[in-house]
Every structure is written in C-alpha cells, then in structure tokens.
C-alpha cells in the first residue's frame, strides 16, 4: 500500500527512461498478478515444507516412544 502511494506521488518526479531504455508513459499502474503469484507460490512451498517436516518428525517420535520401554 505504501509502495503504491509512493509510485503515485513520486512517479512524475522520476524519469524511468534511463532505467528501462524506452519511453515510459505518464501513468504507472501497479499490477496485482505479478505480486500475488510469487507470494502464493512461496506460501504453498512453505506449507508443503511444514507438512513434510511434521510427517517426518512425527514418525521419528513414534519410533522413539515405541522403544522407550525396550531394554535391549
């Protein structure tokens, strides 16, 4: 939200032609999809990692508990 406001307020003060190498229009419009797509991908990867770690560590704890009374 702050970045969108900064673009709206400061956009006309900066000449982006030097950065992009082509004329830039008067109005810059932020795109929602380029922000949401990587965010959703990272969220899915984190959730998958958490589920995988819980499955692996859960199995380790079960074997530890089953062998707790074993005196070998």
Query: 63: which 2 tokens?
Result: 């074997």
pLDDT for 43-61, tens place per residue?
999 999 999 988 887 666 6
Torsion of CA 55, 56, 59, 64, to 10 degrees: -140
Q: Is the pLDDT of residue 30 over 80?
A: no
Higher confidence at residue 44 or residue 17? Answer: 44
The pLDDT value given to residue 64: 67
Instruction: Provide mean pLDDT across the span 3-14.
Output: 70
Cα torsion 19, 20, 26, 31 to 10°: value is: -110
Q: What angle do CA 25, 30, 33 make, to 5 degrees?
A: 130
* Maximum distance among all Cα pairs of the chain, rounded to whole angstroms: 78
* Tokens standing for residue 41: 């991908």
- Pick the residue with more confidence: 38 or 27? 38
């Amino acid at each position: 939200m702050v970045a969108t406001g900064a673009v709206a307020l400061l956009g006309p003060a900066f000449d982006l032609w030097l950065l992009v190498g082509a004329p830039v229009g008067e109005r810059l419009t932020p795109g929602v999809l380029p922000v949401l797509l990587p965010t959703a991908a990272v969220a899915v990867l984190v959730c998958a990692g958490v589920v995988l770690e819980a499955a692996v560590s859960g199995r380790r704890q079960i074997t530890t508990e089953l062998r707790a009374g074993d005196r070998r």
